[in-house]
Amino acid sequence: MQSNERAVMRVLAGERLWPPPVWMMRQAGRYLPEYRETRAKQPDFLKFCYDTDLAVEVTLQPIRRFGFDAAILFSDIFVVPEALGYPVRFEEGRGPVLTPLTSDLLDGLAPERAHDHLSPVMETMTRLRAELPEETTLLGFCGAPWTVACYSVAGHTTAEQTAARIGAYSDPETFQRWIDLLVEASADYLVRQLDAGADALQIFDTWAGVLDDAGFRRWCVEPTRKIVEKVRAARPGATIIGFPKGAIGRLKAYAEETGVTAVGLDWTAPLELARDVQTMLPVQGNLDPMRLVAGGDALDEGVDGVLNGLGGGPLVFNLGHGIVPQTPVAHVERMIERVRSAPDPWAGKNR
């Protein structure tokens, strides 16, 4: 870790550091025995997210164990629609289940209730900033409107989000109305996270890669751009990482058109393309989470590939998506050690 300084923030400001700072998406999660022990105290997942004591504890667990350079608020992307009054529940082994989207359902939402409903999350953020080491960056986040809306058409995820795509094509007026509500609520939510102590924010668009060109611009780029603009209108200079999973060849357009500070890369992003994006702004990523499960040479080769491919510019080392529950803790330790002990391949060279 870069001693007594928020290394992640320096990289997001465009500085190249060696070794690069490191954290993991979903780093507070089921692969940790201490997380499973804490989670058992509250079986209802949404109540778990809103329980400040438990949310603070699980956010801090990977920082205590691994000393990551950033902590990310423990919560869920579905707290935003749930705060608006959209029916959301979590089923064991299935994940989020939402009531299928209708115009009448949107009529019944109450955006004014979101502020009070999300207050426990803000308390969590404030406590985290007070309890984290000074050098640790604190990240807030939200789900991108497209990804959140995907689950609301069929009521759950479907293969390649076919239900959401059909819904957006068939009834774009209702779908646009829902997206617009999510833009407003998400921007307000992110501003409040900054005010509560977040150093930077991440917008997760997990399903960006399933869209065609027109859909990508309408449902991914435009809502993200609006959120970025609204957040920065309220808090100028806000640092925002965009993560459009699966965007691949659209990464440069996403970087140019959304106004994000940095782009998160999934594991499928070719390094040559990623380096091209990195000439525009900092990047974050992009180790395949399955290499972390496999360990051994596969893990070492994956870490080295990211460092050698992207370490010459501003890089926050991360996974290309969230860590999965079956990941051995020892493999995470090995990854961090390899990142932090790697010799600088650009030392003394022009980059």
Specify the amino acid at residue 285: G
Q: Where do the domains of the chain lie, and which CATH numbers do they carry?
A: 28-284 (3.20.20.210)
Contact criterion met (CB below 8 Å) for 187 and 230: yes
Report the C-alpha gap between 177 and 185 in whole angstroms: 13
Q: DSSP secondary-structure letter at 27?
A: -
Tokens linked to 327 = 């990941």
> Whose CA is closest to 74, among 121, 34, 110?
121
Tokens linked to 127 = 């406590």
Contact criterion met (CB below 8 Å) for 106 and 85: no
Tokens linked to 168 = 């957006």
Q: Please list the active-site residues.
A: 26, 30, 39, 76, 151
Specify the amino acid at residue 342: A
Helices (H), ranges, the chain: 7-12, 33-39, 45-50, 52-66, 79-84, 103-107, 114-117, 119-131, 145-153, 162-170, 172-196, 213-215, 222-234, 251-258, 271-278, 289-294, 296-310, 329-341
Tens digit of each residue's pLDDT, the chain (351 residues):
444 579 999 999 999 999 999 999 999 999 999 999 999 999 999 999 999 999 999 999 999 999 999 999 999 999 999 999 999 999 887 789 999 999 999 999 999 999 999 999 999 999 999 999 999 999 999 999 999 999 998 888 788 999 999 999 999 999 999 999 999 999 999 999 999 999 999 999 999 999 999 999 999 999 999 999 999 999 999 999 999 999 999 999 999 999 999 999 999 999 999 999 999 999 999 999 999 999 999 999 999 999 999 999 999 999 999 999 999 999 999 999 999 999 998 887 765
Locate tokens 């984290």: which residue?
A: 132
CA angle (73 as vertex; 93, 4 as ends), nearest 5: 140
